[in-house]
Amino acid sequence: MPARDYYSVLGVKRDASPEELKRAYRTLALQFHPDRKPGDEAAAQRFRELSEAWAVLSDPEQRGRYDSLGPLFRPDGRPPSQDDLNAYLADTFSSLFGRKRKVRGDDLRYTLTLSLEEVAAGCVREVRLRRRSRCARCEGTGAEERDGRSPCAPCKGTGRSPTRRLLRSDCPHCDGRGWQKIKDCRSCSGSGVLDDEATLKVRVPAGVANGQKLKLKGKGDEATDGGPPGDLVVLLQVDEHPLFRRRGLDLLCEAPLYFTEAALGAELRVPTLDGHTTIKIPPGTPSGRIFKLSGRGLPEAGGKEVGDLQVKVLVEVPTELDAAARAALQALRPALDGRHHPARKQWDDALTSRPRKGDLP
């Protein structure tokens, strides 16, 4: 569907003759032709609109269909889609109340790396990034502040199209501003925005997940036509921790245990995200046993639930024994029989009870 009224684009009345249409098109096409304004994207867009309007209104059959359908006209002859109807209704109500939809600025993306401790407590981080900000000299208009504007002659400075009677629409010559730019702003060269380095604060709630996105509305690039700014999308990346692994809200930790501590029992100091605590190791603790510390995991994002800290103890076998350590273990060996190692005793009994090769029938 056409973006704007074709008659307004050419600046003629709806009952304009073919000669008037041709004269208006040639005058405006010459004014906005890309060869006369190289590098001016606004002029190039205006020329494309003129060419589209002329292609339809210069064809009597196409013009008749356009006059019947208006904004719902499609050059390919297909009926309007549901999206076309929705856009038409939105534009109609915006025009009736004097509002014009403007193009947003571009969204920006930033990857923020967090520690597991920051995930647990939440944090406020400062980020530095390059973004387009509104030019302070011209306040985003792109025109020199003193002598860069002149009243729009076709609409006499009202910003309203003189060719629409029923519904209010913007003047196609000044895009509804009521003035035209005659001199570019010296600071931004007429774009209305400047490339700048900004420092922004990002509030990260507790319990966020790796890969989660936070959206900061209005913190992206400023628009070049006075429209609303884009958003900043922050991608959260959680660093690997040297002690903990994450499983949902729970934290997993592996703690090495001396053989003597596992056999005799001990008090073992283990880490937490906010410091450390002590757990009791009962005598005869096997390697691989898990001790659960309730409520010492991660908080639920936006909720009240808190995970647990699970500490898995692993009995470490001593290596590189000196003479004294080896002698001590040699002296201990006879005292440790099957009564102290029930799993080993069960293993040995199973092997002993198996028939030998010569005993097989």
Question: What CATH number is given to the structural domain containing 29?
Answer: 1.10.287.110
Do 37 and 116 meet the contact criterion of CB atoms below 8 Å apart? no
- pLDDT at position 257: 95
Q: Which of 238, 258, 285 is the last residue of a domain?
A: 238
**Residue 152: what pLDDT?**
86
Name the pTM for this structure: 0.61
Confidence class for position 360, pLDDT limits 50, 70, 90: low
Q: Report the pLDDT value the prediction gives residue 92, as an integer from 0 to 100.
A: 54
CA distance 279 to 310: 11
**Residue 312 falls within a domain, yes or no?**
yes
Flag whether 34 is in a domain. Answer: yes
Q: Let me know whether 255 and 203 are in one domain.
A: no
Give domain status of residue 291, yes or no.
yes
Burial zone of 122 (CB within 10 Å; 0-12 exposed, 13-18 middle, 19+ buried): middle
How many independent structural domains does the chain possess?
3
In the prediction, which pLDDT does 357 show? Answer: 65
Q: What is the pLDDT of residue 165?
A: 46
Name the domain boundary from 36, 61, 96.
Answer: 96
Distance of CA 326 to the CA centre of its chain: 61
Q: Based on the domain organization, do 121 and 221 belong to the same domain?
A: yes
Question: Is pLDDT at 148 greater than 80 in this prediction?
Answer: yes
Shared domain check, 293 and 208:
no
Predicted local confidence at residue 166, as pLDDT: 46
| Same domain membership, residue 230 and residue 122 | yes
Q: Is residue 57 part of a domain?
A: yes
Q: Which one has a higher pLDDT value, 173 or 147?
A: 147
The pLDDT of 227-240, averaged and rounded, is: 91
Of 106-115, 152-161, 225-234, give the range with the top mean pLDDT: 106-115
What is the four-CA torsion angle of 257, 259, 261, 262, rounded to 10 degrees? 80
Q: Considering only CA atoms, which of 288, 285, 289, 306 is closest in space to residue 297? A: 306
Higher pLDDT, 71 or 5: 5
Q: Are residues 217 and 115 in the same domain?
A: yes
Which pLDDT does position 70 carry in this prediction?
A: 67
Residue 38 structural domain: 6-96
pLDDT digits (tens, 9 = 90+) for 273-312: 999 999 999 999 999 999 999 999 999 988 889 999 999 9
Q: Dump pLDDT digits (tens) for 74-112.
A: 766 666 666 556 655 555 555 444 445 567 788 899 999
Same domain? For 231 and 261 the reply is no
In a domain, 153, yes or no: no
Q: Which residues of 34-49 are buried (b: 16+ CB within 10 A; e: fewer)?
A: eeeeeeeebbeebbeb
CATH number for the domain spanning 285: value is 2.60.260.20
**Element housing 64 (H / E):** helix 60-69
pLDDT in tens, 32-58: 888 887 767 667 777 888 888 898 889
Mean of all residue pLDDT scores within the chain: 84
Among 30-39, 257-266, 314-323, which is the least confidently predicted range? 30-39
